[in-house]
Amino acid sequence: MKKFKDLIKNEYFWFEKIQNEFYELLINFKSKKEINNQKIAQDLNVSKGRISQVLNGNINFTLKNLIKIILYTGKVPILKFVSQNAYLKHRKDIDEYFDCIEHENMYKKAKDIYFKKVTRKYLVLQSNETEQVEEKNTDFRQLEITGDYGK
């Protein structure tokens, strides 16, 4: 059995991962809107067969068409590139963040996940460095309030 660190170097792993997420997106959209393949095909100006192909796992089409379908579902694509090492180290946080950000009532949790690493870094700072950071923030806020930018 391959280790996960080896799997993420394989193009087929990522193709399957994206394909599964895209499939889930369409199935959930169809269910929520209570529409069928014919309606989707009509709205997107493609054949019903093409929508069936997509739902059967054949999503190998242009990026432009992929984006068109994603936008049709009321979603937006977010594409970020991270190093393989960073993904291995933080994948649970990354996946949890994107799961949470989709739900408005979980946005605070998503924000907490996003800033968790930053918060940890500040907690590790020595007390004198922490005081300097707080001092700088205070000065900056005062500048914003007074509008005194060194005139």
Q: Please, which residues have CB within 8 angstroms of residue 79's CB and are 6 or more apart in sequence?
A: none
Contact 37, 55 (CB under 8 A): yes
Q: Can you tell me the distance from the alpha carbon of 12 to that of 17, in angstroms, rounded to the nearest whole number?
A: 8
Q: Can you tell me the distance from the alpha carbon of 57 to that of 60, in angstroms, rounded to the nearest whole number?
A: 9
Q: Can you tell me the distance from the alpha carbon of 37 to that of 49, in angstroms, rounded to the nearest whole number?
A: 8
121, pLDDT greater than 50: no
Q: What is the pLDDT of residue 67?
A: 92
59-112 pLDDT, tens digit per residue, is: 777 889 889 999 999 999 988 888 999 888 888 888 887 777 777 666 666 666
Instruction: Provide mean pLDDT across the span 8-24.
Output: 89
* Buried b or exposed e, range 102-115, using 16+ CB within 10 angstroms: eeeeeeeebeebee
Q: Can you tell me the distance from the alpha carbon of 101 to that of 109, in angstroms, rounded to the nearest whole number?
A: 8
133, pLDDT greater than 60: no
* Total count of residues recorded for the chain: 151
User: Token digits for 88?
Assistant: 């291995």
Q: What is the pLDDT of residue 40?
A: 94
37-49 pLDDT, tens digit per residue, is: 999 999 999 889 8
Q: What is the pLDDT of residue 108?
A: 67
Mean pLDDT of the chain: 75
Q: What is the pLDDT of residue 106?
A: 66
Q: Which domains does the chain have, with CATH numbers?
A: 1-76 (1.10.260.40), 80-151 (no CATH)
pTM attached to this predicted model = 0.64
